[in-house]
């Protein structure tokens, strides 16, 4: 079988940008290496002593799982070793890790926001989990980083991607020129191009939401969910509800099959639960690059001006026609 590895693909794509010096390519390869190491740990989770909680609570107020901490350490050390990164914002650290310095010693010009292990509640029950990353170029040319370098709008991302540790392990990413998916071939230890130029259907028959929060949903979301339950599709078939509880897995399915994922604001989560910098912005960039749409229900996710590293935002994302419908309900019912 003819295959193209992630490394070959990155080099090929880089050739299209002769002025590029290869730093971003190197950064993406560093992430690919860390993903293989984390995948190895994920695959033996039941055997090695890495299930269960780590015994600490993170800045999110969540009980950290051992695999949260392991994945966090692995990606940070790979990014630090690679030298292309001057700052890392991680879900698992209250403050970002700043490798820039006044002497400008860090050559790295990229800022990485990362959710090292997404879907932690699924680790111990062997359901798909993931990693999400978002990459920006620093705005200032050298020296110490400023808030303007770090809290950039999602439209400034130079790359974003996710790793899905599922029935197979996939790495899906974009650099703003479409979305490509790579599947890990364990027999050669390489991510191989398996889903070139991924596109999301403009409509779908699946909606994805934690229905358990229904009473707390805003009116527009309640109305949309009710319509999904009461009205049939044009095909005469009912909508399906699919909700895994791992954002990466829910959105990978949504991208491949079409559909909509919603995590709205509610009484319990005033600004929604999902974090802007390392969950919503990267996934919004990917879904838009695949022809989909990502909004808060009112505003485009990628145009939100971040105010703080761990800020949350409501998220309505997926097939364009379905997101349009939710936005129309927000406009009519607000």
Residue 245 touches ligand AHG, criterion: CB under 6 A: yes
**Which residue blocks in the chain are alpha helix, DSSP H?**
6-14, 23-43, 66-82, 147-150, 219-230, 247-257, 281-289, 320-333
Q: Cite the annotated binding site for substrate by residue number.
A: 118-121, 210, 243, 273
Separation between Cα atoms, residue 295 and residue 318, nearest integer Å? 9
Tokens linked to 27: 């950064």
**Closest distance between ligand AHG and the C-beta of residue 246, in Å?**
5
**CA angle 234-258-322, nearest 5°?**
60
Q: Which of 168, 149, 172, 160 is nearest to 256 (CA)?
A: 172
Which of 138, 252, 273, 293 binds ligand AHG (CB under 6 A)? It is 273
Longest CA span, the chain: 66
Residue 118 touches Mn ion, criterion: CB under 5 A: yes
Q: Which stretch binds ligand AHG (CB under 6 A): 2-10, 80-88, 215-223, 239-247?
A: 239-247
**Closest distance between Mn ion and the C-beta of residue 68, in Å?**
6
Site for ligand AHG in 62-81 (CB under 6 A): 62
Separation between Cα atoms, residue 3 and residue 196, nearest integer Å? 12
Contacts with Mn ion by CB under 5 A: the residue count is: 6
Separation between Cα atoms, residue 130 and residue 157, nearest integer Å? 20
Which of 39, 64, 100, 120 binds ligand AHG (CB under 6 A)? It is 120
Which of 30, 84, 92, 118 binds ligand AHG (CB under 6 A)? It is 118
Residue 96 touches ligand AHG, criterion: CB under 6 A: no
- Residue ranges in contact with ligand AHG by CB under 6 A: 62, 91, 115, 118-121, 210, 245-247, 273
- Residue ranges in contact with Mn ion by CB under 5 A: 62, 91, 115, 117-118, 120
């Amino acid at each position: 079988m003819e295959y193209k590895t992630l490394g070959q693909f990155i080099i090929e794509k880089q050739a299209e940008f002769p002025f590029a010096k290869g730093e971003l390519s190197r950064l993406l390869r560093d992430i690919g290496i860390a993903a293989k190491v984390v995948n190895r740990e994920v695959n033996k989770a039941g055997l090695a002593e890495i299930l269960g909680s780590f015994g600490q609570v993170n800045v999110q107020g969540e009980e950290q799982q051992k695999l949260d901490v392991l994945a966090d350490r692995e990606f940070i050390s790979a990014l630090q070793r690679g030298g292309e990164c001057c700052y890392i914002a991680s879900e698992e650290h209250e403050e970002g890790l700043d490798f820039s310095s006044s002497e400008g010693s860090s050559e790295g010009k990229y800022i990485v926001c990362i959710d090292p292990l997404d879907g932690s509640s699924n680790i111990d029950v062997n359901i798909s989990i993931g990693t999400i990353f978002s990459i920006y170029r620093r705005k200032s040319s050298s020296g110490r980083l400023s808030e303007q370098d770090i809290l950039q709008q999602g439209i400034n991302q130079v790359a974003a991607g996710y790793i899905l540790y599922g029935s197979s392990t996939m790495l899906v990413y974009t650099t703003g020129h479409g979305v490509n998916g790579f599947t890990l071939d364990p027999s050669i230890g390489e991510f191989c191009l398996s889903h070139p130029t991924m596109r999301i259907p403009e409509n779908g028959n699946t909606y994805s939401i934690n229905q358990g929060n229904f009473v707390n949903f805003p009116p527009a979301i309640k109305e949309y969910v009710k319509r999904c339950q009461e009205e049939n599709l044009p095909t005469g078939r009912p909508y399906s509800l699919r909700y895994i509880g791992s954002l990466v897995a829910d959105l990978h399915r949504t991208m491949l099959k079409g559909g909509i994922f919603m995590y709205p604001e509610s009484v319990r989560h005033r600004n929604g639960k999902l974090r802007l910098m390392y969950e919503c912005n990267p996934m919004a960039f990917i879904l838009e690059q695949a022809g989909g749409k990502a909004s808060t229900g009112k505003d485009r996710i990628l145009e939100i001006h971040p105010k703080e590293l761990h800020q949350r935002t409501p998220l309505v994302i997926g097939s364009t026609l379905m997101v349009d419908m939710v936005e129309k309900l927000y406009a009519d019912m607000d």
